[in-house]
Amino acid sequence: MKNGELIILPTDTVYGLAAKLYDKEALEKIYQLKGREQSKQIPILCAKIEDLDEIAIISDDAKKLMLAFWPGAITFVLSTTQTFYEKTGEKTIAARIPNHKLALRLIETYGVLRATSLNKSGEPPMDDMNQIINIFGSDVHEIYEQNETPSHVSSTVIDVSGEGFKMLRAGTITERDIQAVLTDK
């Protein structure tokens, strides 16, 4: 994957449209292809928690939740490190480790990826390969087909950038599940 190139990859939830972490040209393409507002950040996919060392600040509670639910269908909004902020201008970043062998192999190959659900903004995520090829095929470097059974439910998203946590989007992991981990001594 060269600079400026995008890939479509499967995850344990939905297909993702992905670029290398610091590839501004490819990130711009994601915004254009999706019709996504520039104010909405593109989350990242990691292969292991240590991938976040130079990217985000992880509180003890966030780490506890990551160890309980990753790899899996939960995305954490974290405060960024000074180094990452200087490179991107982003004060927070949403991060996830997918529970999907091919996705993890691609992340290990290309490094941390910026990835968002494969769809036009405001529409449901796409999972029909013919439709994906027709709409996005000419704009991406590679399409990796699903080889595992996805949930078709977008990940739970919680904000752990401040005190405690705030549920931003419900998915298969519930607020009750999260609370149970945090209160378990």
Residue-wise pLDDT for 119-172, tens only, equals 988 898 888 889 999 999 999 999 998 877 767 777 899 999 998 899 999 888
- Where along the chain do its domains lie? 7-183
The CATH class of the 7-183 domain is alpha beta
Q: Is the pLDDT of residue 103 over 80?
A: yes
Distance CA 128, CA 110 (A): 25
C-beta of residue 144 within 8 angstroms of C-beta of residue 137: no
* Stated pTM of the model: 0.91
Mean pLDDT of the chain: 93
Q: Is the pLDDT of residue 101 over 60?
A: yes
C-beta of residue 55 within 8 angstroms of C-beta of residue 38: no
